[in-house]
Amino acid sequence: MERSGERWGSLFRGEHHYSLDDKGRIVLPQTFRAALGSRVVVTRGLDECVAVYAPQEWARNEKKLRGLSVSRRDFVRFVLASAEDVELDRQGRMTVPSHLREYAKIERDAVVVGVGSRLEIWSLLNWQRYLARVQAEATSIASELKDLSL
């Protein structure tokens, strides 16, 4: 594991269930908070979830987004227009902006998922639907992955 602004690699992994409080805040797991620090960048994820990045990882992604061709402006706008800096409080909670809660259909029950270089926050219902779909396809997907030993 690398520190001090270097790439964290696949630090974020795991599935954690939480509930948002009345102010739209969610607790982030302690192991994730240690890697993220006191501030994160949140934006729309691709599968109706909220993507959460450490500032260093976000900076790398934003640079790549800004370098895309003008023909990809819709995707750049999709991601950048919803991006916000969010502070974590002393209890390790972050406020999920209302426009992102609406996008991800998060009302109360949520799932925080570590997916390598970022976190994703899903509504419990969307996460359950996603898992059911992927589970139905898992055997065929795994058969295509020759070098993976699962």
pLDDT 10s digits, 76-105: 788 888 999 999 999 999 999 999 999 999
Provide the CATH number for the domain formed by 12-144 in this structure: 3.40.1550.20
3-state secondary structure of 5: coil
What are residue 99's phi and psi, to 5 degrees?
Answer: -65, -30
Q: What is the pTM of this model?
A: 0.83
* Closest C-alpha among 116, 97, 114, 94 to residue 106: 97
Average pLDDT over residues 39-53: 95
pLDDT at 147: 62
CB distance 120 to 12 below 8 Å: no
pLDDT at 5: 38
- pLDDT of 142 strictly over 80: no
